[in-house]
A and B are shown apart, each in its own frame.
Chain A
Amino acid sequence: MSKALLYDSTICIGCKQCEQACADQNKLPYNDTIAAEVQQSEHKLTVVLTRGDKFMRRLCMNCESPSCASVCPVGALQKTALGPVTYDVSKCMGCRYCMVACPFSVPKYEWAKLVPKVQKCTMCSDRVAQGKPTACAEICPTGATKFGERNDLIAEARQRIRDNPGQYVDHVYGLSEVGGTSVLLLSSVPFTDFGYGTPDFALPMLTSRVLERIPDFVPLGGILLGGLWWITHRRQEVALAEGRLPAAANEKKNGRKP
Chain B
Amino acid sequence: MKFKLTFWKLVFFFLMAAGLYATFLRFTRGLGASTNLTDQFPWGIWISFDVLCGVMLAAGGFTLTATVHILNVKRMHSIIRPTILTAFLGYVLVCVALMYDLGKPYNIWHPLIMRNPRSVMFEVAYCVMLYTTVLALEFSPIVLERFNLQKPLKVVRAILIPLVICGVILSTLHQSSLGTLYLIVPEKLHPFWYSPLLPVFFFISAIAVGLAMTIFESSMSARHFGLHLELPVLQELGRVLVVVLSVYAVLRFEDLLHRGALKLALKPGYEMYLFWLEIALSVLLPLALLLQKRIRNNPHGLYWAAVLVVLGFITNRMNVSITGFEGSTGVRYFPKWSELAVTGMIIGAGFVLFGLAVKYLPIFPREESLAEQEANAAVVPAAVAPVLEHAGD
Contact = CB atoms under 8 A, between A and B. Distances in A.
Interface of A: 41-42, 67, 70-76, 91-97, 99-101, 103, 105, 108-109, 111-117, 197-199, 203-204, 206-208, 210-211, 214, 217-218, 221-222, 225-226, 228-229, 232-233, 235-236, 253, 257-258
Interface in B1-52: 28-33, 37-40, 42-43
A99 to B, nearest CB: 4
The 10 closest A-B pairs by CB, nearest first: A94-B103, A111-B32, A232-B72, A93-B107, A73-B122, A74-B114, A73-B121, A99-B42, A96-B42, A75-B116
A206 B186 contact: yes
Contact of A258 (B118, B123, B157, B165): B157
Interface of B: 28-33, 37-40, 42-43, 66, 69-72, 74, 77, 101-105, 107-108, 110-111, 114-123, 125, 157-158, 160-161, 164-165, 168-169, 172-173, 180-181, 183-188, 196, 199, 329
A222 B31 CA distance: 41
Given A70-B184, A75-B115, A258-B157, 7 more contacts: A70-B119, A71-B119, A96-B42, A101-B184, A109-B103, A112-B30, A112-B32
Contact of A229 (B72, B107, B121): B72
B183 A225 contact: no
B357 to A, nearest CB: 19
A27 to B, nearest CB: 20
Nearest to B108: A93
A203 B183 CA distance: 9
B29 A114 contact: yes
A10 B187 CA distance: 28
Contacts, number: 174
Nearest to A201: B186
Given A71-B120, A94-B102, A111 B184 contact: no
A225 B169 contact: yes
A245 to B, nearest CB: 10
B32 A225 contact: no
A93 B188 CA distance: 24
B168 A72 contact: no
Nearest to B104: A94
B74 A253 contact: yes
Contacts of B42: 96, 99-100, 109
Contact of A101 (B40, B70, B185): B185
Contacts of A91: 107, 110, 114
B40 A105 contact: yes
Contact of A75 (B29, B103, B114): B114
B44 to A, nearest CB: 10
Given A96-B103, A116-B30, A257 B125 contact: no
Nearest to B328: A105
A229 B43 contact: no
Contacts of B164: 225
Contact of A225 (B165, B185, B188): B165
Contacts of B180: 207, 210-211
A120 to B, nearest CB: 11
B38 to A, nearest CB: 7
Contacts of A109: 31, 37, 39, 42, 103
A214 B123 contact: yes
Nearest to B32: A111
Contacts of A105: 39-40, 329
A67 B169 CA distance: 27
Contacts of B108: 93
A100 B40 contact: no
A93 B29 contact: no
Nearest to B117: A211
A76 B103 CA distance: 14
Contact of B165 (A108, A111, A203, A226): A226
